[in-house]
Amino acid sequence: RAWVNFNGTGVVAIRASGNVSSITDTGTGDYTVNFANAMQDANYAVTGSASGGDSGGEETILFPIENTFTTTGVDLRTSSGGGSSVDPIHVSLAFFR
């Protein structure tokens, strides 16, 4: 299991976490979550929320990027309700196996 709460704007900063070693910012709205201890396999579930997109008060959609689940991390993308990539102020994620 793992969980993380982070700020996705500017320099990405983890507020609190469990079994997450770092977040890599790979572009606007794109992040890689890196686990401190590897998952048993890549068949885990991820759930989460994102809010406060950098373009204002729009809703923010969070989803894992297909085929990026590994035992050491996963790539995620956030976008506005209109489909544009955004860097949210609040991102909270939980990973379960």
In this prediction, residues 23-38 reach a mean pLDDT of 96
DSSP annotation of 68 = -
pTM above 0.85, yes or no: yes
Residue 16 pLDDT greater than 70, yes or no? yes
pLDDT digits (tens, 9 = 90+) for 34-77: 999 999 999 999 999 998 765 555 668 888 888 899 999 999 99
| Of the candidates 23, 12, 26, 27, the residue with the CA atom closest to the CA atom of residue 84 | 27
Residue 84 pLDDT greater than 90, yes or no? no
Burial class (CB in 10 A: 0-12, 13-18, 19+), 71: middle
Return d(Cα 14, Cα 9) in angstroms, integer.
Answer: 11
DSSP annotation of 5 = E
